[in-house]
Structure 1
Amino acid sequence: MATATDPRLASMSPDELKTAMRTLGYRTQGDLAGAIGVSRSTVSLWLEGKVGVPRPVAMLLRMLIAAQRRQY
């Protein structure tokens, strides 16, 4: 169970978001925006650090990366 200090619940820096996009295969801001249901301009604001990445979005991206790395 996640706790208040669980790193998966933290927001995401612009650099971490860029890395997550690359890891998950999203080549453009529009690709990521379409996949998670936000506008491209929202993703742009996150990448510029003008608006923080919402914690649920950060958690989703981290979970997708973790799932991608699992061996089946």
Structure 2
Amino acid sequence: MSDRYEYVPHRLLRRRVRDIASGIEGELMAVINENVSDAGVERWMELAYIRGASGREFTTSIANVQPV
């Protein structure tokens, strides 16, 4: 199992977006291909880091992100 990650370019970086899973809006700060492995099975996922109005960042799958 690897602890590596990789930044992924995305057309919505630094733009206002909405997480369709939670309905929260914010600025897309980064998209990172992360190892989210559990129980010894290696699994990679592209996670979106979104900074909400409070200034706190949260993650969601990049598939859940849409422009506002």
TM-score past 0.5 threshold:
no
Higher fraction of helix: 1
Higher fraction of strand: 2
**TM-score (normalised: structure 2):** 0.26
**TM-score (normalised: structure 1):** 0.26
Q: Which has the higher contact order (CA 8 A, sep 6+)?
A: 1
